[in-house]
A and B are shown apart, each in its own frame.
Chain A
């Protein structure tokens, strides 16, 4: 038994490791073909990552990615593909910023209010896709993609100065107004050189814990995973599949709503036209790479954030910083392929092992193995 467990652990790491090695090799190839020195590039990337201010940027970015990826992962565990995290977090951040700018409660309440609004808006936006799926059978992939576009248009309209937006004098940027200072989430300062880690990054880590606990230790999580593994079996076991689809879309949307919070509460304190976009799509990559596991997602968030942040000054050294985007794309392709390969290999290998152990007469029949 112990041996099987160890095997599973090794296989668990084999997928990502294989993916990264392949992605690394492909990236090198792309660079060589385009006449760039790959090793110079890698050296530069790591040199960037050795600066403490870049490290803080990476961690802050990773926190945001982590939340987006968790939102996607909740869907994945349920066999739902929530591509709409992007629209959900942007709409949620905007609404939360609006509420935060127009209400002034004492400290923690202000923050709690903003966060709750963000979660509700995210859940609402994802819930539309959930209701469409359960009542009309509309694929959530299609509806969430469309809801992304609708969210973009809706935000653009809402933020017009004639509606809820503010336009600072002498600026083309539109904002939703500043959130009262009581609603600024305190960060962890690492000195003036390095900057500040957003406080919400720690909330993100906490969300990872909750995610793990709910999925693995609660009845609800079991039902959710069962539905994701086999909807028919879950239904026979008493799960109301429609309710489960709707619930998990709502949860996924609520978590997506949090993805804008580190930036909003820790940095910009307002939603503006230059609020980060595309986090939701990066979240899909990260959830895939991290195999929907909270720790895996954390490591993948750091990796992608590293590529993002360490690549931004590359221009100064004669490299196009889009190289990082190419590398991320190569990682996605390698991940999809290598995980499937490792999964098949793992299934075969386990069947073989079970066969061997049974043939050797190691069937589980004694009390002492009950301890396992």
Chain B
């Protein structure tokens, strides 16, 4: 690995010698790729950036025709670095070379002109447009908007095995298909170097495999992929080279052929990778939350009435973590909304302890002991422009120490915020700064601390560690586990299957608004769970994946 010697012989074109056999050992790449200048070479990049982590003296060399993974904790500076490479930010120091030539990007347009394309974590597609329309949008000058564009799209789709249908309406596409449209959009604009920001975060394991097959196709055609991730298993399976970033600087490179996830994690955080595993069972037979026959139908924008929840029923006992697996958009959000009282269900009974809360307003539900870690913390968890201590009050304004009677108690709330900051390791210079000035992980730690501070009986945790760095992740898992030992009932919804399997005592799979399958977390594998999430399996999932009850 390391720096391939600079070789003036190389041209900008992509020599056929780079067409490697798919899935070949990485060793061969080294030999072939070193014969031309690296696709991207970042040297001494420093960015004193308004944010928690600045980039400091970063050096990365991405060889042409490889998948290069960039790993690091959230907030380590990966995104900043990619923004610099994509022309969204200007580095304060350091140089960028593309195909051996020094470049300086003023905006993403410059980067695109240089053949660099970026697929963002959050898709930027117009739902009510077809794939073709989405692809040509903003790129009308390239191949028009008619048959030439269609031909080009089909050509690209075939060349890289993307399987994109130009006339499909984007709103009818699943997450994986949308992602392929995004990749196609970038290729259509002539990108030879693709940056993928956390592309697997929204995919189930089967879809991840399909994406990786696509990436290998791209690589085989001589394209270069920079792959940002913190899922180490995936990184090892797809990457040719790995660069690890910690605290804004490159701490090392790794050869995936001779590296384990454990070693990689140690490089990444400077300590051991935590595991979400729950050790001893603390499940009691005392029900804490009983949900029976919960149904909810909603009218979608086209005026069609859809059942988003149909006849959902489950029980969570004291000391039990019930995990719900499912591809996003299958009713998990609505289930949470119905439980917390933000949407009222059409029918069904929700019982907390021995109290029927089906018709009780949200505030009463929260007062009676429901803690809530929302899936979208910016929308539901914090007030971004308010100071931390006001965010500590949010959701618990009627409870001590935040208020006495009808009056707020800012002094006590401030004092308790300091305690949360200390106990939950929220990295902040003080409690008067706004929530927006903290990194996502620290915002999440504040939310977890706040919710745990009111001794909840039931915790609804939606993606509790999403966008949180590995260290904080372990901490949040520990806190959930500790509270569970004290008798907390937890409803866990997560897209991270390892987290679900590791933490849960019981697992259910949600598909199109129904709980279609259940599984024992002790024996199930992410792959089996994944197939149930796509609706391919139902009933009780046994270790044998073909079992369709």
How many of A's residues come within 8 Å of B, CB to CB?
A: 44
Count class of interface residues, chain B: 35 or more
Q: Are B431 and A219 in contact (CB under 8 A)?
A: no
Identity of the chain B residue whose Cβ is nearest the Cβ of A239 in the assembled complex: B363
Within the complex, what minimum Cβ distance (angstroms) separates A163 from chain B?
43
Stretch of B100-108, B315-323, B382-390 that contacts chain A? B382-390
Contact string, B156-199, partner A, CB cutoff 8 A, digits 1/0?
Answer: 00000000000000000000000000000000000000000000
Assembly CA distance A362 to B365 (angstroms): 38
* A364 contacts chain B at the CB level, 8 A cutoff: yes
Chain A residues near B379 (CB-CB < 8 A): 230, 232-233
Q: Are B340 and A236 in contact (CB under 8 A)?
A: yes
* B329 contacts chain A at the CB level, 8 A cutoff: no
Residue of A1, A354, A363 with most partner-chain B CB within 10 A: A354
Chain B residues near A347 (CB-CB < 8 A): 385, 434, 436-437
* B68 contacts chain A at the CB level, 8 A cutoff: no
Assuming the contacts A220-B406, A229-B385, A229-B386, asked whether A237 and B51 have C-beta atoms less than 8 A apart, the reply is no
Contact string, B347-371, partner A, CB cutoff 8 A, digits 1/0?
Answer: 0000000000000011111110000
Partner of A236, one of B52, B374, B384: B374
Within 8 A of B (CB), among A31-77: none
Chain B residues near A222 (CB-CB < 8 A): 390, 393, 397, 408
Chain B residues near A365 (CB-CB < 8 A): 421-422
Residue of B386, B415, B437, B438 with most partner-chain A CB within 10 A: B437
Partner of A363, one of B385, B410, B429, B432: B429
* A10 contacts chain B at the CB level, 8 A cutoff: no
Q: Are B433 and A354 in contact (CB under 8 A)?
A: yes
* A153 contacts chain B at the CB level, 8 A cutoff: no
Assembly CA distance A236 to B340 (angstroms): 8
Partner of A218, one of B342, B407, B419: B407
* A274 contacts chain B at the CB level, 8 A cutoff: no
Residue of B364, B395, B398 with most partner-chain A CB within 10 A: B395
Q: Are B433 and A4 in contact (CB under 8 A)?
A: yes
Assembly CA distance A230 to B380 (angstroms): 8
Within the complex, what minimum Cβ distance (angstroms) separates B293 from chain A?
25
Q: Are B429 and A351 in contact (CB under 8 A)?
A: no
Within the complex, what minimum Cβ distance (angstroms) separates B415 from chain A?
6
* B53 contacts chain A at the CB level, 8 A cutoff: yes
Partner of B54, one of A8, A353, A354, A355: A355
Assembly CA distance A225 to B365 (angstroms): 21
Assembly CA distance A253 to B342 (angstroms): 28
* B50 contacts chain A at the CB level, 8 A cutoff: yes
Partner of A233, one of B380, B398, B415, B436: B380
Chain A residues near B431 (CB-CB < 8 A): 364, 372
Identity of the chain A residue whose Cβ is nearest the Cβ of B416 in the assembled complex: A370
Assembly CA distance A112 to B136 (angstroms): 67
Q: Are A217 and B432 in contact (CB under 8 A)?
A: no
Chain B residues near A364 (CB-CB < 8 A): 418, 421-422, 428-431
* A238 contacts chain B at the CB level, 8 A cutoff: yes
* B381 contacts chain A at the CB level, 8 A cutoff: yes
Partner of A232, one of B365, B380, B432: B380
Q: Are A350 and B49 in contact (CB under 8 A)?
A: no
Chain A residues near B434 (CB-CB < 8 A): 347, 350
Within the complex, what minimum Cβ distance (angstroms) separates A292 from chain B?
13
Partner of B408, one of A219, A234, A363: A219
Partner of A1, one of B380, B386, B397, B429: B429
* B372 contacts chain A at the CB level, 8 A cutoff: yes
Identity of the chain A residue whose Cβ is nearest the Cβ of B403 in the assembled complex: A219
Assuming the contacts A219-B398, A222-B397, A362-B429, asked whether A236 and B418 have C-beta atoms less than 8 A apart, the reply is no
Partner of A230, one of B364, B384, B419, B433: B384
* B394 contacts chain A at the CB level, 8 A cutoff: yes
Contact string, A336-372, partner B, CB cutoff 8 A, digits 1/0?
Answer: 0000000000011111111101110011110001101
Chain B residues near A226 (CB-CB < 8 A): 383, 386, 394, 397
Q: Are B430 and A1 in contact (CB under 8 A)?
A: yes
Within the complex, what minimum Cβ distance (angstroms) separates A181 from chain B?
39
Chain A residues near B383 (CB-CB < 8 A): 226, 229-230, 233
Assuming the contacts A220-B406, A237-B366, asked whether A358 and B342 have C-beta atoms less than 8 A apart, the reply is no
Within the complex, what minimum Cβ distance (angstroms) separates A182 from chain B?
35
Assuming the contacts A1-B430, A4-B429, A372-B432, asked whether A236 and B372 have C-beta atoms less than 8 A apart, the reply is yes
Chain A residues near B150 (CB-CB < 8 A): none
Within the complex, what minimum Cβ distance (angstroms) separates B21 from chain A?
46
Assembly CA distance A254 to B421 (angstroms): 41
Q: Are A350 and B433 in contact (CB under 8 A)?
A: yes
Contact string, B397-430, partner A, CB cutoff 8 A, digits 1/0?
Answer: 1100001001110100011001101100001111
Q: Are A351 and B395 in contact (CB under 8 A)?
A: no
Within the complex, what minimum Cβ distance (angstroms) separates A3 from chain B?
9
Chain A residues near B342 (CB-CB < 8 A): 235-236
Q: Are A372 and B53 in contact (CB under 8 A)?
A: no
Identity of the chain B residue whose Cβ is nearest the Cβ of A350 in the assembled complex: B437
Q: Are B406 and A219 in contact (CB under 8 A)?
A: yes
Assembly CA distance A232 to B434 (angstroms): 18
Identity of the chain B residue whose Cβ is nearest the Cβ of A243 in the assembled complex: B361
Identity of the chain A residue whose Cβ is nearest the Cβ of B365 in the assembled complex: A238
Chain A residues near B382 (CB-CB < 8 A): 233
Q: Are A236 and B397 in contact (CB under 8 A)?
A: no
10 sample A-B contacts, Cβ–Cβ < 8 Å, listed by A number: A217-B410, A233-B381, A237-B366, A237-B395, A237-B397, A238-B361, A353-B429, A355-B51, A358-B52, A369-B418
Closest 6 CB pairs of A and B: A238-B363, A357-B429, A237-B395, A352-B50, A236-B380, A1-B430
13 other A-B residue contacts (CB within 8 Å) besides A219-B397, A347-B434:
A1-B430, A4-B432, A217-B410, A218-B408, A226-B386, A232-B380, A237-B366, A238-B395, A349-B50, A350-B437, A354-B437, A355-B51, A364-B431
> B interface vs A, CB < 8 Å?
49-54, 340-342, 361-367, 372, 374, 379-386, 390, 393-398, 403, 406-408, 410, 414-415, 418-419, 421-422, 427-434, 436-438
